[in-house]
Structure 1
Amino acid sequence: MTNSKYPKVVLLMGPTASGKTALAIELAQNHNCEVISVDSALIYKGMDIGTAKPTAEELALAPHRLINILDPLESYSAADFRADAIREMDEIISRGKTPVLVGGTMLYFKALLEGLSPLPEADPEIRAQILDEAEQLGWAALHDELKRIDPVSAERIHPNDPQRLSRALEVYRISGKSLTELTQTKAEALPYDFIQFAIAPKERAELHKLIEKRFNIMLEQGFVEEVEVLKARNDLHLNLPSMRCVGYRQCWQYLDGDFDYSNMVEKGVAATRQLAKRQLTWLRSWKELNWLETGNAKNIVTIAEHLN
């Protein structure tokens, strides 16, 4: 439901390769809108081809905020995105324009709409204490402790998942409140009238074709060479968030000799399809979504009607 008291903000979500960028550019050119990227890969400099970053020509038509803001060595959280997006939205609105937030990082959209739980920062001393206890008593004993203080999290976290188990105990020992209790605390609603759209092809097979086609275009554009440049820096590695972006890991492993070129293409396409599947799963459970079909000429009209 829209709220006419507040300025309108368009959210344009969808799986990878579904046509979000073209739609956002058309909105920017013809409907007094400005674009904010909602993409955890486009934030990185020097990662242009494999992320399907808008081209220089596209950016000239519709500049995108929150792209090319970090070196691949740096990390960026949903909390960082939320703060940056609110700042950019307010600036756009102050000039009488409508922000269009476009992308496929659903966690960022969720953080924006629902806020973030006030979880405490990690405490190295408490974390070390938990590890010592695990060595002496075993993780099963620590899982029993979690059952007593936070049965909901204990049901969700397996005894053989030390990272999440440790974090749940750490949160309780720092704050005196359970992870379940803290994650139920949400921020106040933001003062915007969010109009939410999702775009996707009608058939999953069509999306798979689009993904494969785009991956091959990336390769023709020099994706392997782009990853070679990143590898040559010697300060990047596969455990960084930037290098976990779809396609980059597979190409990096190919360059390491882990598999041949055709396997790299196959694995890259498969990983992108898996990403799209996760994105669609998120979107199907989303509330208040207006669905658009990829390639439908009426999409822009549908969005424009909501802006009037």
Structure 2
Amino acid sequence: MSNDPRPLALCIMGPTASGKTDLAIALRQHLPVELISVDSALIYRGMDIGSAKPSAAEQAAAPHRLIDILDPAESYSAADFVADAEREMAAITAQGKIPLLVGGTMMYFKSLIEGLSPLPSANPEIRAQIEAEAKSDGWQTLHQQLAEIDPVSAARIHPNDPQRLLRALEVYRISGKSMTELTQVKGQQSQYRFAQFAIAPAERAVLHQRIEQRFMQMLQQPFEQEVQALIDRGDLHPELPSIRCVGYRQMWSYLHGQVDRATMIAQGVAATRQLAKRQLTWLRGWPELTWLDSNDLDNVDKVLRKLAI
């Protein structure tokens, strides 16, 4: 790595509840790093407990950039993240420090490290056309259309996920190429050299235990009141990316009387496990990755040795 003249950036990735934040804060005691959050839930203001946002004490000890930058009514794309992250990385590097990117939103990491795919911008006319078709024919019919033109995306996108389904069809109708085809095209090489680490428990059962423990801790905090405050605003709904975040959509359903408390807890834990599974699936195919065990006490030393600092 030392032969590469580009400035260094560190990445700490991993599934939810794996100990990423603790490791990043610990590394700040040994390295001149500044932290950048890579998390599609932590960007939202007023969504603290359900997103496991670093506490005020943690943020005082190690300030995280790109936290609390958006209202829950707003949307945020991988392209938005790349633009914001590159701006913050440049500012950190200009101070003579090292950017440390920490989080679990793998698409953000991929877009930053490999460069953005040449996906077309949203087209309001085509979106309106697709939405009109969905209203008349149903999203299931549109999902079948997607399966014909882009079976890989259709297998990944659930028929009940209108946001991603609409985007995949929109991309094809604008460009004539599938999202799968376009996302295989790499962007320009980054201006940074990335040292990439992933942290997770060696045993899947341990991760599941940590996930359940964290969810139950959230319920002991005023998580219910946090989601009720979002409902009380009156301008938010379950199809927004913010409310679709794991934990929030289950509590939203419970507070609307759609499920009982026991079902909400079971669904919340199951959805968090599914999220962790997707994150691990991404990471298993990730190149140039150094794995760390969440239960090891010497992970900081392992990172330092790897960097030879």
Taking structure 2 as the reference length, the TM-score comes to 0.86
In structure 2, distance between residues paired with 1:276 and 1:106: 11
Post-superposition shift, 1:306?
Answer: 3.1
CA RMSD of aligned residues (A): 3.0
Structure 1 equivalent of residue 123 of structure 2: 123
Structure 2 counterpart of 1:192, one-letter code: Y
The residue that corresponds to 1:40 in the other structure is: 40
Q: Alignment partner of 2:101: what SS?
A: strand
Is the contact made by 1:44 and 1:70 (CA closer than 8 Å) also made in structure 2? yes
Task: State the AA in 1 paired with 2:206.
Answer: E
Consecutive unaligned residues in structure 2, runs of 5 or more: none
How does the TM-score come out when normalised to structure 1? Answer: 0.86
Q: Contact 1:45–1:70 at 8 Å: present in 2 too? A: yes
3-state SS of 1:199 partner: strand
- Paired with 2:55 and 2:153, the residues of 1 have a C-alpha distance of 43
Greater radius of gyration (CA): 1
Structure-2 residue corresponding to 1:4: 4
| Letter of the structure 2 residue corresponding to residue 120 of structure 1 | P
- Residue 126 of structure 1 deviates from its aligned partner by 4.8
For residues 36-185 of structure 1, what are the structure 2 equivalents within 5 Å?
A: 36-126=36-126, 153=150, 157=154, 171=171, 174-175=174-175, 182-185=182-185
**Counterpart-to-counterpart distance in 1, 2:116 and 2:285:** 19
- Look up the match of 2:20: 20
Stretches of structure 1 that go unaligned for 5 or more consecutive residues are none
Match of 1:227 in 2: 227
Note if contact 2:119-2:182 (Cα within 8 Å) is conserved in structure 1.
yes
Q: Percent identity?
A: 61
Deviation string, structure 1 residues 25-66 (Cα, Å, up to 9, x no partner): 111233111100000000000000000000000000000000
Is contact 1:92–1:99 with CA below 8 Å preserved after alignment? yes
Distance 1:233 1:203, change over 3 A: same
Q: Which moved more, 1:34-43 or 1:121-130?
A: 121-130
Aligned residues: 299
- Give the superposition deviation at 1:177: 5.8
1:202 aligns with 2:191: no
SS in 2 for 1:30: coil
CA pair 234-125 structure 1, distance change in 2 beyond 3 A? closer
User: Relative to 1, partners in 2 of residues 1:273 and 1:143: Cα closer, same or farther, differing over 3 Å?
Assistant: closer
Query: Residues 233 and 284 (structure 1 numbering): CA distance in 2 closer, same or farther, change over 3 Å?
Result: same
Give the conservation status (yes or no) of the 8 Å contact 2:153–2:179: no
Q: C-alpha separation between the residues in 2 aligned to 1:285 and 1:166?
A: 27
Is contact 1:75-1:241 (8 Å) kept?
yes
